[in-house]
């Protein structure tokens, strides 16, 4: 153990004046590592990308009427200009700030409605001009971006985000009828707030409801399951074509148009075709039920057959579900819905599923009952053309992805920008077989980009980490409860690390025998968990612990990520007592990103006790185990509005001159560990020495103003060597020949090896010293055990 005194007075911190060079990348040089499931640069270094989603409020337009109101369905004034930043100047300010936080890449949320809000083929060029301007500022700040074609349960009009209203009209549906026909759960306009609209916490239940399920089914497989649904609009090129083909073509053309407009921005790395895609009814085993383990059941949950009858205007008894445990929910009663006999179909338009014979209406509409069509309850379980079992991913999703990739490539022409494809699996279905049955080019730039959340925490808005569960295994049908149970803080990290390891195993299916990088496109935590206790008491220990466990779990699996999310409009406003308790949106404090009661933003410019730098004189600052967090204030406005900064701001090897074996940050001890197998020196391609230079981002938040211990060793070349760093700039050379440079202003630690180290394991440990650490290290076994839980 070092003899450096742990109670040494702190020195003055350094406020960075330049963007970190370690997280500055040349997008065109980023490729797939030849031997590891990782990104690499032109110098053969392993690249780690750490980023954030921008933003949660880009899911809805500037004027966002409450769901169900007449204004909600009026697309004539819809514009997304001003989302996610109110101005180009504000965007520039935040891009620079995020770079200083160690962010190297941004997943940019762009919905189909934002691109094409009113009419097919009519793009909002002012919005695209705005996106170009803010992404140009990102380029100037040194940030890479990839475009996220974002949707949730298809559209705002079905309780989420994504598609414009004209897509429903093309299919023949009237979204204004969806609440009455239970085709989508929307907030009751008199009982919702701007935070909860359009569906509150019930929004995930809409995936299995008629509106989204029909739209997804038609979009991906209209030619197979609804061949009679033919386009009847005014565009000659689509006359006689199936509506599914028309919708897919329109979607791809919209994002291809965006790609062509952004093609001169070299910092645009690529495209994520569709956020969290869903199969709709495709491969549904039975029209009589949905899988309650994979499709969230809360409130009224009609089966597919019941949904079709309700949409046709038939009063239908439907089950009502409430929360339970260990099963997600249970059916508690049945209610007859749509007694008003409202049809979800536009006047004069055919009921697609009735026309295909999926179900049959009664001859006596007053007293008769609807029945299954001649193909029976498993209509969607097989391909009606071939009789084979339906495979959504193989038969529909991957072909769509390849068509999207081709559309983007054609739009880019000779541009090198935007060539990467970030492929998401369908939630709960596992990886698609991207390479199976195809002959992709060896250098195909494909990244596996799944999402991950602790589903139980999202579902219950609560966490006690003394005991946590592998919810995905339990939801998948396993009843080995003890096997999937984890104890304490270390157990929470182990739980999440085991979950993230799944994605590595997915590569055997996704892209077998080909190195493939993995970037977690979304992960994060709800700040309003545990009855919003963080807002009420300022105690952020639970959310801080969870976020740290998520990041640490991803580090253990050597993953890249873009965390969800940055929302500058995040706010916390007291809910009036007169607001009715409806749709589970009522709470002491209505906090969040102003979409479906979500509260994930890692930045809040609203005065509240979860923000470490109080903006407006908040009465109390956030605390972790009663210890106030006051570190950020030392750096001026660098960490403006930041939340859970101790977990968010993590050192990491952005560029490693070798194969990374291990890279972890231990928040409790402010210790970073890196081990890698050193690359051999190569003839320099651009700058001499970069092929043997490892660049580590070291956030000033944790390390500036403190004495730090740097330990370096090389296998077979003597014992580890330890150096105390107590200046903002330092450098040295170990006896084994490793050179290092420390620069707090650049938040950078550079490690340089030479030919003697090639093929050997290099270990680097960096630890910041703060008062009290000796006592932590000398805890007895009982104290250590207690420490697991606090």
38-57 tens-digit pLDDT: 999 999 999 999 999 999 99
d(CA 650, CA 205): 35
Which positions ≥6 away from 26 have C-beta within 8 Å? Answer: 41, 42
d(CA 116, CA 128): 10
Which of these, 271, 173, 270, 185, lies nearest to 216 by C-alpha position?
A: 173
Q: Phi and psi dihedrals of 100, rounded to 5?
A: -70, -20
Q: What is the dihedral of CA 687, 688, 694, 698, to 10 degrees?
A: -60
pLDDT, tens digit (0-9, with 9 covering 90-100), for 294-331: 888 999 999 999 999 999 999 999 999 998 876 778 89
Count the Cβ atoms, other than its own, within 10 Å of residue 237: 9
In the chain, domain spans = 650-787
Contact of 598 with 565, CB cutoff 8 Å: no
Average pLDDT of the segment spanning 166-170:
98
Could you say which DSSP state residue 681 is in? P
- Reduced to 3 states (helix: H, G, I; strand: E, B; else coil), residue 204 is helix
Distance of CA 159 to the CA centre of its chain: 18
Q: Residue 483's pLDDT is what? A: 80
∠ at Cα 650 (644, 652), nearest 5°? 160
d(CA 668, CA 775): 12
For residue 591, pLDDT over 90 is answered with no
Q: Which pLDDT band, with edges at 50, 70 and 90, does 367 fall under?
A: low
Percent of the chain having pLDDT more than 90?
Answer: 77
Give the pTM: 0.95
Could you say which DSSP state residue 430 is in? B
As beta bridge partners, residue 430 has 426
Q: Residue 781's pLDDT is what? A: 40
d(CA 790, CA 507): 36
Contact of 689 with 752, CB cutoff 8 Å: yes
As beta bridge partners, residue 677 has 659, 761
Could you say which DSSP state residue 725 is in? E
For residue 100, pLDDT over 70 is answered with yes
Q: Residue 327's pLDDT is what? A: 74
- Range with the poorest average pLDDT among 18-22, 25-29, 619-623, 767-771: 619-623
Average pLDDT of the segment spanning 340-361:
96
Could you say which DSSP state residue 397 is in? I
Contact of 27 with 81, CB cutoff 8 Å: no
Q: Which pLDDT band, with edges at 50, 70 and 90, does 362 fall under?
A: confident
For residue 681, pLDDT over 80 is answered with yes
* Mutual angle of helices 210-225 and 243-262, in 10-degree steps: 100
């Amino acid at each position: 153990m070092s003899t450096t005194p742990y109670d040494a007075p702190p020195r003055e911190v350094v406020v960075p004046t330049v963007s970190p060079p370690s997280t500055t990348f040349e997008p065109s040089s980023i490729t797939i590592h030849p031997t590891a499931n990782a990104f690499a640069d032109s110098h053969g270094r392993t690249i780690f990308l750490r980023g954030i989603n921008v933003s949660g409020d880009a899911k809805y337009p500037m004027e966002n009427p409450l769901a169900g109101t007449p204004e909600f369905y009026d697309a004539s004034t819809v514009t997304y200009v001003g989302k996610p930043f109110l101005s180009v100047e504000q965007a520039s300010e935040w891009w620079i700030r995020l770079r200083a936080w160690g962010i190297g890449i941004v997943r940019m949320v762009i919905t189909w409605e934002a691109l094409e809000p009113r009419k097919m083929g009519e793009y909002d060029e002012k919005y695209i001009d705005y996106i170009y301007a803010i992404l140009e500022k990102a380029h100037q700040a040194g940030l890479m971006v990839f475009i996220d074609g974002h949707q949730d349960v298809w559209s705002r009009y079905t309780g989420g985000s994504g598609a414009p209203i004209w897509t429903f009209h093309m299919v023949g549906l009237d979204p204004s009828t969806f609440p009455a026909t239970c085709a989508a759960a929307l907030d009751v306009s008199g009982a919702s707030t701007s935070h909860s609209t359009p569906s509150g916490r019930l929004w995930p239940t809409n995936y299995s409801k008629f509106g989204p399920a029909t739209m997804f089914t038609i979009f991906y497989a209209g030619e197979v399951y609804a061949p009679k649904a033919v386009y009847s609009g005014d565009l000659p090129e689509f006359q006689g074509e199936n509506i599914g083909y028309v919708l897919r073509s329109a979607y791809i053309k919209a994002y291809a148009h965006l790609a062509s407009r952004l093609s001169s921005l070299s910092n645009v790395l690529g495209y994520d075709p569709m956020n969290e895609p869903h199969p709709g009814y495709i491969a549904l085993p039975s029209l009589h039920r949905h899988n309650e383990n994979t499709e969230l059941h809360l409130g009224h949950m009609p089966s597919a057959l019941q949904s079709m009858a309700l949409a046709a205007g038939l009063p239908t008894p439907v089950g009502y579900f409430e929360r339970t445990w260990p099963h997600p929910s249970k059916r508690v009663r049945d209610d007859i819905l749509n007694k008003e006999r409202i049809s979800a179909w536009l006047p004069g338009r055919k009921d697609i599923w009735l026309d295909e014979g999926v179900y049959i209406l009664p001859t006596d509409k007053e007293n008769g009952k609807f029945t299954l069509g001649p193909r029976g309850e498993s209509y969607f379980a097989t391909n009606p053309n071939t009789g084979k079992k339906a495979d959504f991913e193989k038969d529909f999703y991957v072909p769509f992805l390849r068509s999207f990739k081709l559309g983007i490539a054609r739009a880019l022409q000779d541009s090198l920008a935007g060539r990467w494809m970030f492929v998401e699996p369908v939630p709960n279905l596992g990886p698609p077989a991207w390479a199976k049955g195809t002959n992709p080019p060896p250098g195909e730039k494909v990244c596996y980009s799944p999402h991950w959340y602790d589903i139980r925490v999202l579902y219950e808005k609560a966490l006690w980490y003394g005991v946590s569960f592998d919810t995905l295994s339990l939801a998948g049908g396993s009843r080995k409860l003890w096997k999937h149970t984890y104890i304490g803080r270390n157990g929470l990290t182990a739980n999440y690390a085991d979950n993230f390891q799944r994605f590595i195993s997915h590569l055997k299916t996704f892209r077998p025998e080909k190195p493939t990088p993995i970037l977690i496109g979304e992960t994060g935590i709800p700040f309003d968990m545990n009855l919003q206790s963080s807002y009420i008491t300022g105690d952020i220990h639970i959310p801080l612990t969870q976020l740290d466990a998520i990041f640490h779990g991803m580090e253990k699996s050597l993953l890249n990520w873009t965390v969800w999310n940055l929302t500058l409009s995040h706010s916390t406003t007291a809910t009036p007592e007169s607001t009715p308790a409806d749709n589970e949106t009522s709470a002491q404090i209505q906090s969040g990103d102003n979409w479906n009661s979500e509260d994930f933003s890692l930045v809040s410019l609203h005065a509240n006790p979860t923000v470490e730098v109080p903006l407006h004189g908040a009465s109390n600052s956030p605390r972790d185990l009663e210890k106030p967090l006051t570190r950020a204030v030392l750096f001026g406005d660098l960490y403006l509005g930041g939340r859970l900064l101790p977990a968010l701001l993590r050192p990491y090897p952005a560029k490693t001159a070798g194969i990374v074996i291990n890279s972890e940050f231990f928040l409790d001890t402010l210790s970073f560990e890196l081990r890698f197998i050193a690359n051999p020196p190569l003839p320099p391609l651009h700058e001499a020495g970069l092929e043997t230079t490892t660049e580590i981002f070291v956030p000033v938040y944790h390390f500036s103003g403190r004495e730090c211990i740097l330990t370096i060793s090389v296998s077979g070349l003597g014992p580890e060597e330890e150096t105390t760093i107590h200046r903002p700039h330092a450098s040295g050379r170990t006896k084994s020949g490793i050179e290092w440079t420390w620069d707090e202003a650049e938040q950078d630690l550079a490690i340089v090896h030479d030919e003697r180290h090639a093929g050997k394991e290099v270990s680097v440990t960096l630890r910041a010293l703060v008062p009290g650490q000796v006592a932590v290290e000398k805890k007895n076994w009982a104290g250590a055990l207690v420490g697991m839980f606090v």
